[in-house]
Amino acid sequence: MIMPLSGDPPRSRCLSIALVIIVLVLALAPFLFGGAKPLNVTAKICIFIALAASYDLLLGYTGVVSFAHTMFYGIGSYGIAIAMYGLGPRWGAAAVGLTVALPLAAALALVIGLFSLRVQTIFFAMITLAVASAFAVLASQLSWLTGGEDGRSFSVPEVLRPGFRVDVLGLNITGRMLTYYLVFACCAALFLLLLRIVNSPFGRVLQAIRENPFRAEALGFRTVIHRILANCIAAAAAAAAGALNALWLRYTGPDTSLSFSIMLDILLIVVIGGMGTMYGAIVGATLYVLAQNYLQALMGWVSTAAGEAGLPLVPSLFHPDRWLLWLGILFIASVYFFPAGIVGKLRGSR
């Protein structure tokens, strides 16, 4: 148990139990639930765990705020989508997409880091915001490549298609299940890799820099290089998560990969789960994706009910499109009152 966790166990009984349950449910999801929606939800949880964990490397461990994480996520998504769309539903195409997208994401992160991390973390936040929004505009305008606002739908290799069926030990395995397990395994591997990185000597230097950059610099650590490297790793991991998302959806478009609301999702997951804990990504992503899928419906119901009751303003405040309003309020409240997040709270009250 300790080996794959890189010597960084959950360190809280409640947290361990919650994690075991989440991982078990995610692992058995194709057999536990019927229908398409639950599997879509669990797959999204898996992907968001990897995505949020990669962001935690930046926000929680390096102490810098990036608004460009969805850009890297999008690069991964578009990498797969464009390759599969152009080269056909072959594994080779996926490999091409990945070999272009991952280095591209890392290289872009390197350039952004070189420009902005030398000066101040606040500079980094501003520049990532500017670059990411320019990238989003670019992606929606270069329709010959990206499909513009419509995005790109594509076919996946045969074994991953919903129609594909095979009997293994009497179990009826579909292509959808195989895709799910591909996503699950890759996300688990990404998470464990990131856990290893933050617990490596490199990760400890990052935390030393976060705590006191001047002291770390005085001790001889090149803070800029460490921050830039962390940015590159996080970018590549986000791109990998994006690629998995594209494979699962068999589609990539601005709304599923580049929109600012995904950036907000990631921020909220990491803050609510607990910054600088990695496990926060698991707890946060699970709660968040569940809430997103089921609470939005509740909001719709409240909105309609309030509308029928003739209340002013309430219908528009609770309209499902105003999801971000409540998210924003929750976000501010978490940063103020709950900065350690769920994992921090659980560990504190061990």
Which residues make up the interface to another protein (CB under 8 A)? Answer: 59, 63-65, 67, 115, 118-123, 125-127, 129-131, 133-134, 137-138, 141, 260, 264, 267, 271, 313, 316-317, 319, 321-322, 324-325, 327-329, 331-332, 335-336, 339
Q: Of 109 and 127, which CB lies nearer to another protein in the complex structure?
A: 127
Cross-strand pairs, 166: 173
Amino acid identity of residue 299, one-letter, is M
Contact 52, 285 (CB under 8 A): yes
Q: How far is the CB of 259 from another protein (least distance, A)?
A: 12
The two three-digit tokens of residue 186, written as one number: 């890759």
Query: Residue 59 is encoded by which pair of tokens?
Result: 């926000």
Minimum distance from residue 277 beta carbon to another protein (Å): 15
Residue whose CB is less far from another protein, 34 or 312 = 312
Overall residue count recorded for the chain in this entry: 350
Contacts of residues 123-130 at CB distance under 8 Å and 24 or more positions apart, as own/partner, are 124/64, 124/65, 124/66, 125/64, 125/65, 125/66, 125/67, 128/65, 128/66, 128/67, 128/68, 128/71, 129/67, 129/68
30 vs 284, which CB is nearer to another protein?
A: 284
**Which of 298, 301, 300, 274 has its CA nearest to residue 286?**
274
H helix or E strand, kind and range, residue 105: helix 91-116
Min dist. Cβ of residue 232 to another protein (A): 18
Sign of CA dihedral 343, 62, 192, 25: positive
Signed CA dihedral, 236, 238, 242, 245: sign only:
positive
95 or 122: whose CB is closer to another protein?
122
Instruction: Report the residue number, 39 or 109, with the smaller CB distance to another protein.
Output: 109
CB of 343 to another protein, least distance (A): 17
The residue (of 189 and 311) whose beta carbon lies closer to another protein is 311
Closest alpha carbon to 80 in 236, 256, 251, 232: 251
65 or 87: CB nearest another protein: 65
Minimum distance from CB of 77 to another protein (Å)? 20
Question: Smaller CB distance to another protein: residue 200 or 261?
Answer: 261
Contacts of residue 208, Cβ cutoff 8 Å, sequence gap at least 6: 215, 216, 219, 221
Least Å distance, CB 213 to another protein, is: 11
CB of 9 to another protein, least distance (A): 27
Cβ 142 to another protein, closest distance in Å?
8
